[in-house]
Structure 1
Amino acid sequence: MKKVCLIGQFPPPVHGLSKALDTIIKSGYMNNKYELEHINIKDNKKFVGHLTQLNRSDADIYYFTISHSKFGNLRDMIILWALLKKKKRVIIHYHGGRYKELYQSLNILQKQINRKLIDQTDIVIVLGNSLKGLFSDVIDAGKIRICENYIEDEALLDNFEFEIKINRLYQGDMEVLYLSNFIKSKGYQDVLQAANRLKNANVRFHFAGKFFEEQDKEEFMDYVKQHGLENNVLYHGVVMGEDKKKLFERCNIFVLPTYYPNEGQPISIIEAMGNGLSIITTNHAGIPDIVSSRNGYIIDKQAPDQIASAIQELMNNREYLVQHANENRLTTLMKFKEIDYIKRLESIMDEVS
């Protein structure tokens, strides 16, 4: 049995990358095939200890998730250098969408280090076809592989629940969901402005996620109050498990008008797809690989009027909701289940075994 060492930022906190790593380490399928160990590098104060763990590891394959930032890149290159010294197989998995931009911002020396070290890795994984060019400055295209994100099994409605939802799409109020961290470039303010434009329509907006700045939360709540949106906008805080699943079950439309610089391929969009929501989002990062006019709307960034127009069109043509729901459900069950993600990784690891 081959030994695989997973290196990255494990939960808590829970975000797309940490959740993906946690899924691998807890996967019965992966544990039956490989002997898994992991090194959690989220605390940079323990960096020397992390290097000590790496030096003691005798794994056959090293699976390394790298950072989006300049400082993180410095740390990652030191770790990568230590891994390559072992003369073992090394796989990099990049969960973002801005490595090329990061690379261009580096000084000459750091660029040289990135080229020299990343070129020696066996495989670099990106989240979608549109992101394959991110590493064109540092590695041959033949070493790039794609592994799309996934929906956790516990977040997916069962078939009976989905059928009930489909039957509800033809009637009742429209329920719109924004579920993501409350970072301004994720576009939550644009969704809030769209809610204001539609406040006289039968539309209810649900917001869920974490505010990192208290001032941002105060501004959000003040906007709701000042524009009389108390009956139109609900803030649910951070939702997980059954609470999150119930929101997906309740809502018809998912809106994530993101222009977040570190965006890769939002797991929240795949979760919404799997639970039969129409998608309204932007042509950003790896999103066009999973959203098109077949299953939702691609809008411009920072365009609340376009969000409102798309929602209005769905209200006036509810058959579109049903079409999108069935398309998204089918696609997710075919490609984006948890086991599909695990088997994509297995296939990549088999290449280097």
Structure 2
Amino acid sequence: MHGASKVGDSILNSTIINENLETRFIKIKASVDLQAIGKFSLNKVKHSLLLFFRVLFLLLFFRPGAIYYTTSPKGFAFYRDLMISIPIKFFRLFIKYNIFYHYHSRGIKEFTSNSSLSKKLTNVFLSGVNAIFISPSMESELNNVKSYKKIHFLNNGVEDNIDATGFNEILKHRSESDTINVLYLSNMIKEKGYDTALELAKTVRDLNVKNIKFHFAGGWASKADTDYFNNFVSMNKLQDLVQYHGMVQGDQKRKLFASAKVFLFPSRYKKEIFPLSLLEALSYGLPIIAFDVGAVKNIVNDEVGKLSNKENLLKSFNLIKEKYLNEIAYKKCRDTYLDKYTSQKFETNLLNILKS
């Protein structure tokens, strides 16, 4: 469960896309868990070869008018994508179609700066291609690339899991509850900030602040992360203040969002761009405390929360407690989501790009 795969699922199941376009989908299957992402394995080689022949088959027999591909900026996945691009570029000599490569993370600039070969291969890969970026903040990624056709910008969007009645019920529950449930929901790697969230929980305990509970949800990246989390909770006696819910989906995930009052996202992940979890939090009317990474500052402003850092995290948390835990603030967060970040807006904007 990571951003690119979730966006891919939303496109696969999009009524807007599938009603307006005749589509064929191929799943890019390589990493089976978080630990495998970015690492070489023979299993990945096998899946890459299967992917190559599936693409080749559809180029021969489906003959698309456009190709949309979720690509990777570097690592083994880049060379896999480069291999896949060979038949795509070759068949374009006979069948006219537009190619769209959607980037969900940074890395192009770093990769093309490593060597002249990386730069040349990336220019070959992007030759005549439309690049789709999540945010204008990513445009500098192509400073070393001149071969692309055009850049499109496409904000992420997420499904709305509640209606007006459901949201009013959430507001009622929040007003009746004295407990401030703080939610961290992301992959459980330190770069995403679960360790920083734990330190905030410890500070809250040391200050003897009452009626606050920290909830963590997400998949573990490694056993070392699991051990760090459990040892920190045990050593600092945070068992009654911290609860880990595991990898959550469906109703369990919705209940966590609905019962929370604050969403905490202290990520320092260098590939962070436009986190879907922030959009999900806004959809439930949750004020956000987030670190200023990627395009987070384009999502989080003073109307929906606070940008912070490790040194000012407690100050930001206290400010949220004082000024944002009320119906007006909750509704503002929800309205921001409805105005900018619904799945329908994302799918409509993608459809317009593909038709362009």
TM-score under structure 1 normalisation? 0.87
| Structure 2 CA distance for aligned equivalents of residues 297 and 318 of structure 1 | 10
Q: Which residue of structure 2 aligns with residue 258 of structure 1? A: 267
| Structure 1 CA distance for aligned equivalents of residues 3 and 328 of structure 2 | 28
Are residues 324 and 136 of structure 1, via their aligned partners in 2, closer, same or farther at CA, if it must alter by over 3 Å? farther
Residue 189, structure 1, aligned to residue 195, structure 2: yes
Contact 1:258–1:284 (Cα < 8 Å) also in 2: yes
Contact 1:130–1:288 (Cα < 8 Å) also in 2: no
Q: Which residue of structure 2 aligns with residue 247 of structure 1? A: 256
Are residues 111 and 323 of structure 1, via their aligned partners in 2, closer, same or farther at CA, if it must alter by over 3 Å? farther
| Structure 1 CA distance for aligned equivalents of residues 124 and 147 of structure 2 | 12
For residue 167 of structure 1, report the CA deviation from its aligned partner: 4.2
1:38 corresponds, among 17, 21, 25, to: 25
* Pairs aligned (count): 330
Q: Which runs of 4+ in 1 moved over 6 A?
A: none
1:95 corresponds, among 95, 99, 104, to: 104
Partner deviation per Cα, 1:142-191 (whole Å, 9 max, x = no partner)? 711111111123xx322122223334555612110000010110011000
Contact 1:25–1:36 (Cα < 8 Å) also in 2: no
Q: Which residue of structure 1 aligns with residue 152 of structure 2? A: 145
| Structure 1 CA distance for aligned equivalents of residues 333 and 142 of structure 2 | 30
Partner deviation per Cα, 1:48-99 (whole Å, 9 max, x = no partner)? 2222222222222110111143221122222223212221210010111333
Contact 1:129–1:289 (Cα < 8 Å) also in 2: no
Contact 1:264–1:286 (Cα < 8 Å) also in 2: yes
Partner deviation per Cα, 1:107-162 (whole Å, 9 max, x = no partner)? 211211212331311x2111122223222321479711111111123xx3221222
For residue 262 of structure 1, report the CA deviation from its aligned partner: 2.3
| Structure 2 CA distance for aligned equivalents of residues 315 and 110 of structure 1 | 48
Are residues 157 and 306 of structure 1, via their aligned partners in 2, closer, same or farther at CA, if it must alter by over 3 Å? farther
| Structure 1 CA distance for aligned equivalents of residues 286 and 70 of structure 2 | 30
Contact 2:128–2:147 (Cα < 8 Å) also in 1: no
Are residues 210 and 29 of structure 1, via their aligned partners in 2, closer, same or farther at CA, if it must alter by over 3 Å? same
For residue 339 of structure 1, report the CA deviation from its aligned partner: 1.2
Residue 204, structure 1, aligned to residue 213, structure 2: yes
| Structure 1 CA distance for aligned equivalents of residues 139 and 273 of structure 2 | 12
Are residues 231 and 79 of structure 1, via their aligned partners in 2, closer, same or farther at CA, if it must alter by over 3 Å? same
| Structure 2 CA distance for aligned equivalents of residues 167 and 273 of structure 1 | 17
List aligned pairs for 1:308-347, cutoff 5 A: 308-318=314-324, 321-347=326-352
Higher alpha-carbon deviation: 143-152 or 133-142: 133-142
Contact 1:278–1:324 (Cα < 8 Å) also in 2: yes
Contact 2:305–2:324 (Cα < 8 Å) also in 1: no
| Structure 2 CA distance for aligned equivalents of residues 63 and 168 of structure 1 | 43
Residue 108, structure 1, aligned to residue 116, structure 2: yes
For residue 215 of structure 1, report the CA deviation from its aligned partner: 2.6
Contact 2:127–2:149 (Cα < 8 Å) also in 1: no
1:225 corresponds, among 214, 217, 234, to: 234
Q: Which residue of structure 2 aligns with residue 4 of structure 1? A: none
For residue 104 of structure 1, report the CA deviation from its aligned partner: 2.1
Higher alpha-carbon deviation: 175-184 or 50-59: 50-59
Contact 1:175–1:203 (Cα < 8 Å) also in 2: yes
Q: Which residue of structure 2 aligns with residue 48 of structure 1? A: 49
Q: Which residue of structure 1 aligns with residue 143 of structure 2? A: 136
Look up the equivalent residue of 1:240 and give its one-letter code: Q
Q: Which residue of structure 1 aligns with residue 293 of structure 2? A: 284
The alignment-based identity, stated in percent, is: 28
| Structure 1 CA distance for aligned equivalents of residues 332 and 221 of structure 2 | 34
Higher alpha-carbon deviation: 255-264 or 273-282: 255-264
| Structure 2 CA distance for aligned equivalents of residues 97 and 169 of structure 1 | 38
For residue 194 of structure 1, report the CA deviation from its aligned partner: 0.3
Are residues 306 and 55 of structure 1, via their aligned partners in 2, closer, same or farther at CA, if it must alter by over 3 Å? same
